[in-house]
Amino acid sequence: MNNLSPLRSGWTESLARGEQPDASALRLHLRAIHHDNPGFTETCAQACRDAAGRTSYEWLAETAPGGEGRVLDLACGSGVLLDILHTRNPALSLVGIDMCPEELALARHRLPWAAARLLQAEAQHLCVLQDDSMDAVLCHWALTLMYPIEPVLREVRRVLKPGGTFAALVDGPMQAAPGYAAAHDLIYGHVQAELPDYGSIDLGDPRVRGTDSLIELVSAVFPQADVTVETGVVAMHGTATEVAEAAAGFFYAAFTLSGARRAQMLKELSHLLCAPATIATTDTPARFAMPVNRLLVRP
């Protein structure tokens, strides 16, 4: 988390008044975070690996076509997934879309020249893409933040070719990753001390975070498709300071904390992630695990 000032936006102001923020306020809130902290999600996501040694990006990349084809990375961020896809299969024609110009700038810097076409657009309005133009649409850990979600799914269906694949990485069930719920509750406890309604009104559509509700939601838009959700766990290891900072940075909620409270949260999180160590120092080994769901939609 590079910006030490607490994020305040129209979205957080609505929460402070006990009001329901609208979709426009949510998008402006997310853009403010990415404007000040471009590329922050990759710090934790690239450090976390599953039992097979894969990052969540690599697990998602496995769903891409094996030969030639056009692939859209929806909410491509700083281009990590696009880079993996290009490295694995240079024959793919890649398109990356994100609503944040700061993230797209990082993607342009990361990717080899002409490896992907990068466009700025919102997921609900993919008018820059033609109907039936993509063999696959992939989305890494951004579907949970999109609201309203139904227009996003309809746009994905519109741009997919008949027989195309849609795959997304989203939050998995908390109980799947030991210790994740405790870390989540610790961070949210500090956030709610400053913004009491944070969490009661969360980012995005809550149906995306539930396995059954996600399948039902997606099946309504893709009624003839085979919709499955697989659950996995990715984890990172390092010193207490490193792991706590990276883990907290993956939570959008943490960006709303004031400097003093964030420092206290990180101190407590460092101790939590070192358990069962009785005394945690900055160099004590720590571990943070996250639950992930891989949504796969195929004809």
Angstrom distance (rounded) from CA 196 to CA 180: 21
Mean pLDDT of 101-113: 96
Say if residue 69's pLDDT is above 70: yes
User: Helix 180-194 to helix 259-274 angle, to the nearest 10 degrees?
Assistant: 160
pLDDT tens track for 213-272: 999 999 999 999 999 999 999 999 999 999 999 999 999 999 999 999 999 999 999 999
Domains of the chain: 10-298 (3.40.50.150)
Give residue 199's pLDDT.
Answer: 84
> Which residue has tokens 């809550």?
206
Between the alpha carbon of residue 236 and those of residues 41, 77, 293, the distances in Å are: 14, 21, 17
Say if residue 11's pLDDT is above 90: no
Angstrom distance (rounded) from CA 59 to CA 55: 6
Angstrom distance (rounded) from CA 293 to CA 283: 32
Angstrom distance (rounded) from CA 157 to CA 289: 32
Give residue 1's pLDDT.
Answer: 47
Angstrom distance (rounded) from CA 45 to CA 235: 9
Strand ranges inside 63-133, DSSP E: 69-74, 92-98, 116-120
Mean pLDDT of 145-158: 97
Amino acid making up residue 69: G
Report yes or no: 293 and 171 within 8 Å, Cβ to Cβ: yes
pLDDT tens track for 184-217: 999 999 999 999 988 887 789 999 999 999 999 9
List the alpha helices (DSSP H) in 142-179.
Answer: 150-159
Q: How many CB atoms lie within 10 A of CB 138?
A: 25
Cα 218 to chain centroid distance, Å, stands at 18
Report yes or no: 7 and 36 within 8 Å, Cβ to Cβ: yes
Higher pLDDT, 116 or 4: 116
Task: Let me know how long the chain is.
Answer: 299
Give residue 2's pLDDT.
Answer: 46
Report yes or no: 119 and 177 within 8 Å, Cβ to Cβ: no
Token pair, residue 101, equals 């110009």
Q: How many helices (H) and strands (E) does the chain have?
A: 11, 7
